Amino acid sequence: MDKESFFSSRPPCPYCGSHQILKNGSTHHKKPKFLCKECRRQFIENPRKRQITLAEKKQVKKLLLERISLRGITRTLEVSMTWLQKFINNLYRSVPLELKVKDTSDLEIDIECDELWSYVNSRIKSSLYLVSNFPKKSSNYWVLLRRQNS
């Protein structure tokens, strides 16, 4: 028996893709185990639990940023809830405890105030006061006070 036919009858390594595979006993479920000669890792041919690829892990991170529910992620990517929870816990542990935030106490803040009213329904005599402390290019405002004259 030549060397190529000996190694070609075995499944490729799921970790490195090598075909340099040796039989390495069997599991307690009587499934044959294999050993990769290049990366020295063991595996079985058709595992019940599949490996989650790096692309799937990136997809999980994207879906978490989009605030998709955990159950939704498990259904769409076909991963288990326990794996997903462990993955999220590992992500949480990798985030630094102290975030680098700039101190804004010494920055100047411009606050503007304006009274708005209209001729429409002018008998009601109500007005709004708007307060803004946003940059000049922003169009966001806060309603601070509503005055009603009786």
> In the predicted model, what is the mean pLDDT of the chain?
77
Q: What is the CA radius of gyration of the chain?
A: 32
* Alpha helices (H) along 19-148: 54-65, 70-77, 81-94
**Do 35 and 58 belong to one domain?**
no
Number of domains in the chain: 3
Residue 100 pLDDT = 77
**Do 62 and 37 belong to one domain?**
no
Chain segment 21-43, per-residue pLDDT in tens: 999 999 998 999 999 999 999 99
Least confident of 25-34, 97-106, 130-139: 130-139
Q: CA 120, CA 114: separation in Å to the nearest integer?
A: 18
Residue 5 pLDDT = 54
Classify residue 99: in a domain, yes or no.
no
* Helix (DSSP H) and strand (DSSP E) numbers for the chain: 4, 6
Whether the predicted pLDDT of 47 surpasses 70: yes
Chain segment 113-126, per-residue pLDDT in tens: 665 555 555 555 55
